[in-house]
Amino acid sequence: MLPYYNELLDEEKDMLTEVIKTLFNQTFLLESKFDKKSGRYMPSKLYRACERHLDFLKEYFKVADIDIIENRQYGIIFLKTQSVQGDKLSRLTTVFLLLFKLIYDEQMNTVSNSIHVYTTLNEIFDKIQLFRLWNNKTISPTEVRKTITALKKYQVIEILEDMGEMEGDSRFILYPTVNLLFEGGAIQAIIEQYQEEDMEETEDEQISITDQDVFE
């Protein structure tokens, strides 16, 4: 591995270092991301660098028993491991993630010619009530911000408004990353589990974003 790395130009070394740091921090790299200024999807330099050095990175992460996988269908490169546990997601974050997946599938099935998948906080809250995924307690703005921050970190969503100005009609773009987080049958199973559980103990219910049962 080292001869390959040592032969790179300093600029390429710096880019490769940034790729590794980003993957460790957020698990996923998107081929393109929505740019709020231009209103368009823009290609990612990090993704291209990762793709260019993918063989080297596979060997690098293999040392830590981590696989690096490129999903060309969705334009995503991500890390997958069965031996290292990632960040824990709160119950509210898990609920949002489930509903983002359902909304993504609904929109892609009805608007197949669009690459933009949008949703709002109001739509999420409506579905939480519809599927009975929360108790009668009010969901605090702080909880919502923490949830949105976590899902943005893992490249699941892009926020189209400022975090401090989020309201019911605040919009989000959903990225295809959401397709890699749950197997098809897992979504319904988790929803049913949440519907049946005692909602008073929500803080103890957590999942890991790198657990084997949430990946395809």
Helix (H) or strand (E) holding 80, with range, is: strand 76-80
- Are 80 and 215 contacting, i.e. CB atoms less than 8 angstroms apart? yes
Residue 206 neighbours by CB distance under 10 Å: 13
- The residue segments making up the domain with residue 110 are 88-214
Residue ending a domain, choose from 48, 80, 112: 80
Give the pLDDT confidence score for residue 213 in this predicted structure.
37
Q: Which residues pair with 28 in a beta bridge?
A: 78
Does 68 lie in the same domain as 171?
A: no
Residue ending a domain, choose from 64, 80, 96: 80
pTM for this prediction: 0.80
Mean pLDDT, consecutive 10-residue stretches, the chain (216 aa), reads 90 97 94 91 96 96 94 94 66 90 89 75 92 80 90 92 80 92 61 58 47 36
What total of structural domains would you count in the chain?
2
Does 144 lie in the same domain as 45?
A: no
